[in-house]
Amino acid sequence: MTYRQIFDEAIGDAPPTAVDVDGLVAREGRRRRRRMGAYASATAVLALALGAGLVVQPGASGGPAPAYSAASATARTQPERLRSAMLAALDREAADLRWVRGADPVTDHKTWNGPLTDDPQWSVKPFRWESMTGWFGVGVAARGTVRSYLAVNVGRPLPGQAIGPDECREGMIDCRSLTGPNGERVLTYDVEGYRAPPASPRQRVAVRYAHVERTDGTQVTVQAHSSSDRHLLTAEEMAAVALDPEIRLG
């Protein structure tokens, strides 16, 4: 995302007024979800590859899961360790999260209406974008009546790459910039988004990001794209997940 994963490399610094969703889906598939998120400037509209078509644009503001111990993951592989750490952080901040069984986080939004389970439907895979490499965790979570695409990524920019932004900008809603307990740069914000199902009126949805840049250059981003106009997590909860020291590159 240029929010460092949050701000999709498919967008670039100056997003066009419209993006070919099919083309974006194809590129995301080839690059294994380079960045499942987006930043839109005051004059840009971004179509995201989330089911029936989620569009993010600037504008108006707007049963408990089992606990996971990151400490017990020392003998595991990198994706196993990160999965445990990500789920432990999410469980600590939002113990009432549940998961949508059989949901496709990206390409089929209709699957978000499936049955709920306490067993985390969460996968972690490596990524290599043009500007960054790391690990990406994703699933479809539920909290009360809110269902949301939820993702956490941790990575480090490639040499000579600057991914930004590291401060609030026009088009970010309720943006807050602060310093973490160990000198991290923390940015949380919302963007105005909507789904545009075929032959149906567009539907407003809630989109929220939390991004942390650590002093060693590691970057962690948490993003949530709801299926309604209500947020899955608070900005504080998302920032706390992103600040978790166990979500790190091994």
Amino acid at 114: G
pLDDT digits (tens, 9 = 90+) for 216-237: 999 999 999 999 999 999 999 9
Task: Report the candidate in 218, 230, 213 with the shortest Cα–Cα distance to residue 177.
Answer: 213
* pLDDT exceeds 60 at position 137: yes
Segment holding 236, helix H or strand E:
helix 235-243
Tell me if 212 sits within 8 A of 76, measured CB to CB.
no
Query: CB burial class (10 A; 0-12, 13-18, 19+) of residue 97?
Result: buried
* pLDDT exceeds 70 at position 64: no
- Distances from the Cα of 212 to the Cαs of 25, 180, 218, 242, in angstroms? 26, 8, 8, 6
**Once rounded to an integer, what is the mean pLDDT over residues 176-202?**
88
- Stated pTM of the model: 0.73
In whole numbers, what is the pLDDT of the chain averaged over residues?
A: 75
Q: Which residues of 153-169 are buried (b: 16+ CB within 10 A; e: fewer)?
A: bbbbbeeeeebebbeee
Better-predicted residue by pLDDT, 207 or 110: 207
**Residue 192: predicted pLDDT:** 87
* pLDDT exceeds 50 at position 119: yes
| Least confident interval from 104-108, 170-174, 220-224, 245-249 | 104-108
